């Protein structure tokens, strides 16, 4: 379980010469840190902003979900790699391809959840940006930039994990969310 590790130990796991954990887990950890920064900024702004406590709670919920995705992504990707390695070459191609397609599609779910979560965090940043204390406005803008980068990276993983064909609804959803996150981050 990656989330039980210290930060330096998590970095060592990510740097290890194996495929799991990979970029999805790293992106989830980055998103959790961005949410923590928004939470901090809201907590420092209660005097000037009556909704600060609510925004801090929203940021905390997003942070907690991102932390869960650190492990969920690693597990889904591990299962996909194991299924590919164990693919029964004696099975009929359509059976083998269907089974691999199922596990590959499942491996795309955590990155897609990251895209959604990152877009939600950027929207929260945009709403909070003008209301937080001026001394932490740059922190919120930085968190929005980081969350936007996470959305872009996770979108790439969705497309790769699906070995997507043109018009795949999940990739199109990810594209829309990345564009919305980018626009919201630029508004800060």
pLDDT of residue 173: 96
The alpha carbon of 91 is separated from its chain's Cα centroid by a whole number of angstroms, namely 35
pLDDT of residue 9: 96
Q: Does residue 103 or residue 176 have the better pLDDT?
A: 176
pLDDT of residue 52: 94
CB-side exposure of 93: number of CA atoms within 13 Å? 0
Cα–Cα distances in angstroms (integers) from residue 104 to residues 65, 86, 162, in the given order: 22, 13, 6
Mean of per-residue pLDDT scores for the chain: 92
> What average pLDDT does range 165-181 have in this prediction?
91
The band of 34, judged by pLDDT with boundaries at 50, 70 and 90, is very high
Write down all domains in the chain, each with its CATH number in brackets.
19-186 (1.20.120.680)
Angle value at C-alpha 110, between 79 and 173, nearest 5 degrees = 130
Give the pLDDT confidence of 83-102 residue by residue, as tens digits: 877 776 666 777 767 777 78
pTM: 0.92
Proportion of the chain above pLDDT 90, given as a percent: 75
d(CA 33, CA 168): 30
């Amino acid at each position: 379980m990656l989330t039980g590790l210290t930060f330096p130990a998590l970095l060592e796991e990510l740097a290890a010469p194996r495929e799991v954990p990979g970029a999805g887990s790293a992106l989830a950890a980055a998103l959790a840190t961005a949410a923590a920064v928004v939470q901090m900024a809201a907590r420092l702004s209660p005097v000037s902003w009556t909704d600060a406590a609510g925004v801090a709670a929203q940021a905390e919920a997003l942070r907690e979900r991102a932390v869960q995705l650190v492990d969920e992504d690693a597990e889904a990707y591990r299962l996909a790699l194991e299924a590919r390695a164990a693919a029964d070459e004696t099975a009929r191609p359509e059976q083998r391809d269907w089974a691999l397609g199922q596990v590959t599609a499942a491996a795309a779910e955590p990155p897609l959840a990251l895209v959604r979560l990152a877009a939600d965090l950027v929207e929260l940043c945009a709403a909070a940006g003008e209301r937080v204390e001026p001394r932490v406005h740059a922190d919120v803008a930085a968190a929005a930039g980081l969350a936007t980068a996470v959305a872009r990276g996770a979108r790439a993983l969705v497309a790769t994990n699906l070995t997507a064909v043109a018009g795949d609804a999940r990739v199109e959803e990810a594209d829309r969310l990345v564009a919305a996150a980018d626009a919201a981050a630029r508004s800060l």
